[in-house]
Copies of this chain bind each other. A is one copy, B any other.
Amino acid sequence: MDYGKQLGLSSDEFNDLFDNFEKRKYKGRKYFTLPDIRKGIEKGTVLVDGRVIRGYPKTPRVFVLKKGLKSYFDDKIAIEEKMNGYNLRIALIDGEIFAFTRSGYICPFSTSLVKEKMDLDSFFSEYSDYMLCGEIIGPENPYTSHSYPEVDSIDIQIFDIRKNSSGKSMNIDKRKKICEKFDIKQVRFFGEYKLENAVEKAPKIIDRLNKQNREGIVMKSIDGKKQLKYTTKNTHQDDLSHAFSIPFDYGQDFVFSRIIREAFQSVEWDENYKQTQKRAHELGESILLPFINSIRQVSHEKTVGEHHIIRGKPKSVSNLLEHLRDQGLSIKIIEDKNIEDKRVVFFIKESHSTTDKIKHYLEGGKKDI
């Protein structure tokens, strides 16, 4: 079927849009991804074998939780846990199952993983035009590093089912029932609330999640159309620690945004001087300590970067490493062994730009600002 039609665009509009798509290849299969949002079509939208797989849209965020809820919703709200991992879309193309990352790459590791961990055939036999949207979590994954006590190595939890071509979300109750029917794990569900109750409840959930070092919540209208997210202090600070371990690789927007979240949260929580000061001290440590650590690493001739462990079938692990290298990443393998029938690899995504900048300054290089 025609891509333009599926996207609801005229053929001229589609041709314009198509110029922005980038060509990719996966096991000999050609596909196209959209690197940025355009004409309302989400970043990460994929065109493959006559099918459109819409990108997963950004979830809007508020800095002030109670007022945000009130100004954004007007009816019943579902609250779910926002997990700290990476976003994945699982879809059926030409009878074959693929897992797409947020930016639209087919990820060999994730594709193999979801096929292994989930019984997808029965789901897709009934819902072939839908994608499962979820989060890959756990300490052993190639993209993020947050760990959860209940997740040993790696896991996937679904938070949305969407129509492939339109990206339209399923009603939440329906999605929950379907997932239960096909035995598909979902993110933690905190409940459905009337607006005025949600305003009371949401801060309490955030407080509990913060104490457990978990990320935050997504609040949704029951029809799945509206979403809003809010995150915990520990998440903001962990994000900053991560960013400042490779400071010259991160956008300054990323950093600034976390500082904004911290400032507004402190005011909304009505913190006293002591609490505010504690938050400020933690913030300072999240910024400065990893940065100093990375400078010391480089001064000892080490290359800094993101550390990951992955565990999987030997074939899917080697496909993943090849896939990451194909994307231009510099992968340094620290340890590589087989445990039972799995290959376990500890590797670093080396950050040359941070390493080189730090080296330049350590040697007395100047900066004209």
Residues of A within 8 A of B (CB): 58, 60-64, 66-72, 228, 244, 247, 252-253, 255-257, 259-260, 262-264, 266-267, 276-277, 279-285, 287-289, 291-292, 295-296, 299, 361-369
Contact = CB atoms under 8 A, between A and B. Distances in A.
Nearest to A261: B367
Contact of A288 (B58, B63, B259, B365): B259
Listed residue (A70, A280, A291, A295) with the most chain B CB atoms within 10 angstroms of its CB: A280
Given A260-B247, A284-B280, A369-B58, A364 B267 contact: no
A341 to B, nearest CB: 42
A280 B288 contact: yes
Given A263-B292, A267-B296, 7 more contacts: A60-B368, A61-B366, A63-B361, A67-B363, A68-B366, A267-B292, A284-B285
**How many of these chains are in the complex?**
2
A343 to B, nearest CB: 37
Contacts of A253: 252, 369
Contacts of A244: 259
A279 B287 CA distance: 11
A296 to B, nearest CB: 6
Given A280-B289, A291-B259, A361 B58 contact: no
B276 A60 contact: no
Contacts of A68: 364-366
Contacts of A283: 284, 287-288
Nearest to A228: B366
Contacts of A367: 60-63, 257, 260
A228 B284 CA distance: 28
14 contacts: A58-B369, A61-B368, A62-B361, A62-B365, A63-B367, A66-B364, A67-B362, A72-B366, A252-B252, A257-B367, A260-B291, A260-B361, A264-B362, A283-B287
